[in-house]
């Protein structure tokens, strides 16, 4: 039986209304066919390609073109992008706001990325902030956050979150001599701060649809940092902290039916426990036995979890 035949049956039996049948059957017959996603991907790839080319060109021709030409042209592009966004933007709302048009989000994203290129060029050539140059990152991150919230743009939010991560990494590096230690500390601080900020904004009902972006990035950074702490036994607290974090990830994932977080919790948690369990073990057979048995335990646990979630049909 085809989907159309089934739809027809539902219409005749009254399971769906006539207007619903008309709308859905048009999609099934492909009388209406959306290329929304394809156009968005073209725009995204276009922006990425443009910025990569701009960075490459500036790198190769900076001596020939001169500072004025580079800074001037980048400023012009950034200014035009921001002017367009300011002129065309819909009023701010804490709720999700649709873009005024398809290209709007990508023009803002392009402007933010080019601004990053320009700031980077300025600092490298003029050393305006000298040893405090990392404040450029903080400034960029704050600007990107402001743009992401003002114009409701998830691409710019991701950009802001990664720029903030870079600032955390550089800032904390000044207090530590061991590179891994500072990176881990920075990552933990960043992960905790980002997750807390995302949850706080969610509770404040400000752009609640942004929460998942915060949590995906924060969870991965935090769990990866904790795993590295377990691997390099820097403190006895890493394992309990790791177990608590994976527990929260799995619990939250199940509770709110966001199963990506269950996957993060299981995979990172398994790696951390395995590192601890196999520490000092040099016997290949016992290693394989551990992998076999522990893998089976995880599979059984997941089957029970999936069973409980009731996706049986």
For the segment 17-46, give every residue that binds another protein (CB under 8 A). 20, 23-24, 27-28, 30-46
CA of residue 116 relative to chain centroid, distance? 18
Instruction: Report yes or no: 185 and 172 within 8 Å, Cβ to Cβ.
Output: yes
146 is a site residue for another protein (CB under 8 A) = no
Stretch that binds another protein, among 80-88, 177-185, 194-202, 227-235 (CB under 8 A): 177-185
181 is a site residue for another protein (CB under 8 A) = no
Cβ nearer to another protein, comparing 86 with 288: 288
Distances (CA, A) of 102 to 99, 157, 193, 194, 289: 7, 18, 32, 29, 54
Q: Supply the minimum distance, in Å, between the C-beta of residue 45 and another protein.
A: 6
- Name which position in 76, 244, 302, 304 contacts another protein (CB under 8 A): 302
Cβ nearer to another protein, comparing 24 with 231: 24
Stretch that binds another protein, among 113-121, 191-199, 200-208, 235-243 (CB under 8 A): 113-121
Q: Supply the minimum distance, in Å, between the C-beta of residue 29 and another protein.
A: 9
Cβ nearer to another protein, comparing 123 with 276: 123
Q: Give the DSSP letter string of 143-167.
A: HHHHHHHHHT-HHHHHHHHHHHHHH
- Non-local (6+) Cβ contacts of 160 within 8 A are 141, 142, 144, 145, 147, 148
CA distance 47 to 8: 44
108 is a site residue for another protein (CB under 8 A) = no
282 phi and psi, to 5 degrees? -120, 10
85 is a site residue for another protein (CB under 8 A) = no
Site string for another protein, 39-78 (x = CB under 8 A): xxxxxxxxxxxxxxxxxxxxxxxx----------------
Count of residues near another protein by CB under 8 A: 120
Instruction: Report yes or no: 265 and 254 within 8 Å, Cβ to Cβ.
Output: no
N-term to C-term CA, the chain: 19
Q: By CB under 8 A, what part of segment 193-252 binds another protein? A: 209, 212-213, 216-217
- Non-local (6+) Cβ contacts of 10 within 8 A are 16, 21
281 is a site residue for another protein (CB under 8 A) = no
Q: Supply the minimum distance, in Å, between the C-beta of residue 78 and another protein.
A: 11
- Name which position in 11, 65, 88, 120 contacts another protein (CB under 8 A): 120
Q: Supply the minimum distance, in Å, between the C-beta of residue 235 and another protein.
A: 20
Comparing CA positions, the residue from 40, 122, 36, 45 lying closest to residue 78 is 122
- How many residues in total does the chain contain? 313
84 is a site residue for another protein (CB under 8 A) = no
Cβ nearer to another protein, comparing 130 with 236: 130
């Amino acid at each position: 039986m085809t989907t159309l035949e089934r739809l027809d049956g539902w219409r005749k039996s009254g399971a769906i209304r006539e207007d619903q049948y008309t709308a859905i059957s048009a999609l099934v017959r492909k009388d209406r066919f959306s290329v929304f996603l394809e156009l968005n991907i073209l725009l995204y790839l276009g922006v990425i390609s443009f910025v990569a080319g701009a960075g490459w060109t500036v790198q190769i021709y900076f001596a020939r073109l001169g500072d004025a030409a580079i800074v001037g042209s980048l400023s012009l592009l950034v200014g035009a992008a921001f002017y367009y966004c300011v002129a065309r933007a819909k009023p701010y709302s804490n709720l999700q706001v649709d873009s005024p048009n398809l290209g709007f989000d990508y023009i803002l994203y392009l402007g933010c990325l080019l601004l990053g290129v320009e700031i980077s060029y300025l600092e490298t050539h003029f050393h305006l902030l000298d040893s405090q140059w990392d404040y450029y990152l903080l400034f960029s991150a704050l600007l990107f956050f402001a743009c992401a919230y003002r114009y409701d743009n998830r691409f710019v939010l991701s950009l802001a979150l990664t720029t903030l991560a870079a600032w955390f990494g550089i800032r904390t590096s000044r207090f530590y001599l061991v590179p891994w230690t500072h990176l881990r500390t920075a990552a933990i601080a960043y992960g905790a701060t980002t997750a807390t900020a995302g949850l706080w904004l969610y509770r404040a009902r400000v752009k609640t649809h942004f929460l998942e972006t915060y949590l995906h990035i924060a969870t991965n950074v935090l769990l990866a940092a904790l795993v590295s702490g377990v691997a390099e036994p820097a403190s006895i607290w890493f394992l309990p902290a790791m177990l608590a974090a994976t527990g929260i990830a799995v619990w939250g994932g199940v509770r709110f039916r966001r199963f990506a977080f269950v996957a993060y919790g299981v995979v990172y948690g398994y790696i951390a426990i395995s590192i601890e369990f196999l520490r000092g073990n040099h016997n290949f057979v016992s290693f394989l036995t551990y992998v076999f048995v522990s893998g089976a335990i995880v599979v059984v646990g997941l089957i029970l979890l999936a069973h409980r979630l009731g996706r049986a049909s």
